A and B are shown apart, each in its own frame.
Chain A
Amino acid sequence: KNEVEQSPQNLTAQEGEFITINCSYSVGISALHWLQQHPGGGIVSLFMLSSGKKKHGRLIATINIQEKHSSLHITASHPRDSAVYICAVEYNTDKLIFGTGTRLQVFP
């Protein structure tokens, strides 16, 4: 069993839809990261959070420490949001443990 579980694995949406990607982890962490990877492309760090909620443009990330759960929301989705979204956790050791990613496709 992976230490970091993401759901769904694949997600398709129509442009404009509200999207939620979930991430669960098994033990206490020092931080949780949300990353974005475009096909054949590099990795962009979207958020790093250890409590509460962060917002950047149309992206919102939340974390519930007690439930060991985080969500990434995309409001008013757009085809350019199509990418793989990866959740990663950090356990006081600096190295990241990654989920397997959620592949999002947004159609016009």
Chain B
Amino acid sequence: NAGVMQNPRHLVRRRGQEARLRCSPMKGHSHVYWYRQLPEEGLKFMVYLQKENIIDESGMPKERFSAEFPKEGPSILRIQQVVRGDSAAYFCASSQTTGFPYEQYFGPGTRLTVT
């Protein structure tokens, strides 16, 4: 049973380009969470999704950031027109739907560098 998969592990983008980060949850998990860790800072919640639904996006910046979790395929975190301040490690986690509170399993992260 593979764990949470994220790709790419490292992503370099120039300012103004788009970044797409992918997250495949653990088998049987239908909840996905995205977190961001800025350099020398703690982790911060961004968005919580279930299949085809955004449940809580209170941590997402209002502009340029979007997330989806389609019926088929991985969850995608999309950052348009990246700026240097978007450089960070982006982690996703997944959980199953039974036995609240749900234990979250983390992926290895995607390290985004904006040049």
Q: Do A and B come from one complex?
A: yes
Report Cα–Cα, A97/B35, bound state, in Å: 10
| Chain B residues in 8 Å Cβ range of A50 | 101
**Chain B hits for A88, CB < 8 A:** 43
Q: Which residue on chain A has the smallest CB distance to residue B46?
A: A95
Q: Evaluate contact between B56 and A43: CB separation under 8 angstroms.
A: no
A35 to B103, CA, bound (A): 11
Interface size on B, residues (CB 8 A): 26
What's the dominant secondary structure at chain A's contact region? strand
Are the CB atoms of A94 and B33 closer together than 8 Å? yes
**Number of interchain pairs (Cβ within 8 Å):** 57
Contact of A44 among B35, B43, B102, B106 (CB under 8 A): B106
On whether the beta carbons of A48 and B103 are closer than 8 Å, the reply is: yes
Q: What is the chain A residue whose CB lies nearest that of B43?
A: A98
Judge if A100 is at the interface, Cβ distance under 8 Å.
Answer: yes
Complex: chain B residue closest to A2, CB-CB: B42
Chain A residues close to B by CB (< 8 Å): 30-31, 33, 35, 41-45, 48, 50, 86, 88, 90, 93-101
